[in-house]
């Protein structure tokens, strides 16, 4: 483990439930990342209040007052530099970032996506998975690259798709797994236990435990 904790910023646009899981993990002294800043593009984001309650520095950079993405990101970058940020975690941050910004943070910016990438990039992932009739769905933590939802994969978790599922019930189970694997993935990156080779992440992420899949109505003792 590193001797110093990596100063991490969480970028949000709303309530930030994944933000809360990262904050909880970072409360442990041995965790290799420190949540040093929660930043939102929406000043009214509920997640900012949550961060303040947990004595974490917050900032709002309202994207609506800037002429374009480049101007918005220039202020974003200054805020990150001001707080001496090493790593960024996107947690429901609903703004597309330019290629120049993502390249500046290459290998240091993570995102969580509610699907098993490379399947179902973009929005409405649960609805699309149900419409396609898949039997396995899940979530992915990946490095951010200029192409949306396409960076090297750090960790994934899978859940079964039940016959009774709708987008809401499926989304709840996926979110539970997001809250497990995002802190684990950040810990691996902050502790420098993973590295990128070509488009693959190799290292300790291969040992991340995933919740076993349980097929309803199936009894292992009846399996011959």
Domain ranges of the chain: 1-105, 113-213
Q: Are 157 and 177 in contact (CB under 8 A)?
A: yes
Domains 1-105 and 113-213 in one fold: yes
* Residue 202 Cα to chain centre, angstroms: 18
Per-residue pLDDT, 209: 41
Q: Which of 55, 63, 83, 113 is catalytic?
A: 113
Q: What is the dihedral of CA 65, 68, 74, 75, to 10 degrees?
A: 10
* CA proximity to 154, closest of 197, 216, 103, 215: 197
pLDDT at 1: 54
pLDDT at 220: 43
Task: Name the nearest CA neighbour of 160 among 128, 132, 126, 137.
Answer: 137
Task: Provide the whole-model pTM.
Answer: 0.90
Q: How far apart are CA 200 and CA 77, in angstroms?
A: 27
Please indicate whether residue 113 is annotated as part of the active site: yes
Superfamily of domain 113-213 in CATH is Formyl transferase, N-terminal domain (3.40.50.170)
Q: Which regions of the chain are under pLDDT 50?
A: 206-224
The radius of gyration of the chain's CA atoms, rounded to the nearest angstrom, is 18
104 within 8 A of 110, measured Cβ to Cβ: no
Determine the CATH number of domain 1-105. Answer: 3.40.50.170
């Amino acid at each position: 483990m590193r001797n110093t904790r990596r100063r991490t910023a969480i970028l949000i646009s709303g309530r930030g439930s994944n933000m809360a899981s990262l904050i909880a993990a970072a409360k442990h002294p041995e965790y290799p990342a420190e949540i040093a800043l929660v930043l939102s593009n929406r000043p009214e984001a509920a997640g900012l209040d949550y961060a303040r309650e947990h004595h974490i520095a917050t900032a709002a950079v309202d994207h609506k007052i800037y002429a374009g993405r480049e101007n918005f990101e220039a202020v974003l970058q200054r805020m990150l530099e001001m707080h001496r940020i090493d790593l960024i975690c996107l947690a429901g941050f609903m703004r597309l970032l330019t290629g120049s910004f993502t390249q500046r943070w290459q290998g240091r910016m993570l995102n969580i996506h509610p699907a098993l990438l490379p399947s179902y990039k973009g929005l409405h992932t649960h609805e699309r998975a149900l419409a396609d009739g898949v039997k396995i769905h899940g979530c992915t933590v990946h490095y951010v690259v200029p192409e949306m939802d396409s960076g090297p994969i750090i960790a994934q978790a899978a859940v079964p798709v039940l016959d009774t599922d709708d987008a809401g019930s499926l989304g709840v189970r996926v979110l539970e797994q997001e809250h497990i694997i995002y802190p684990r993935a950040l810990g691996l990156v902050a502790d420098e236990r993973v590295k990128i080779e070509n488009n693959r992440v190799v290292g300790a992420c291969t040992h991340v435990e995933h919740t076993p899949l349980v097929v309803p109505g199936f009894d292992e003792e009846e399996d011959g």
